[in-house]
A = this chain, B = another copy of it.
Amino acid sequence: MAIDKELLKGTTSTLVLQLLSRKKMYGYEIIQEFEILSGGLFSFKEGTLYPVLHALETKGYVKPEWVGAKGSRQRKYYLITKSGRNQLKSKKAEWQRFTSTIEKIFFGKEALNEING
């Protein structure tokens, strides 16, 4: 298995990193944004997202930043790190290798993004 087998199970962490690569966001905001971006096709549940964010933090890919006036609602914003950007780039490349291969098997042709890209 030259490709990370985890890719088979999910792209959750990579999707989260992708969103954070554009702007810092807080958990609840990420959940809503995915709902919109996917056109309702899929959504992240809280029980999925928060542990993922904590795991990304542990690995040093994101850094949290509490924002909010004292005594008011606190929002935990996450910022992607340099290491996180490297990880994102690597995982997206892996995604393309994986999907290219699946497309070839499913539809009997080279992946279009290799022909055209």
Contacts and interface: CB of A to CB of B under 8 A. Distances in A.
A18 B103 CA distance: 11
Interface residues of A, number: 36
Interface residues of A, dominant DSSP: helix
Contacts of A2: 40-42
B9 A8 contact: yes
Contact of A10 (B1, B8, B116): B8
Contact of A1 (B3, B19, B42, B103): B42
For the complex of A and B, list the 3 residue pairs with the smallest distance between their C-beta atoms, beginning with the closest.
A112-B112, A8-B10, A9-B9
Interface of A: 1-3, 5, 8-12, 14-15, 18-19, 37-43, 92, 95, 97-99, 101-107, 112-113, 116-117
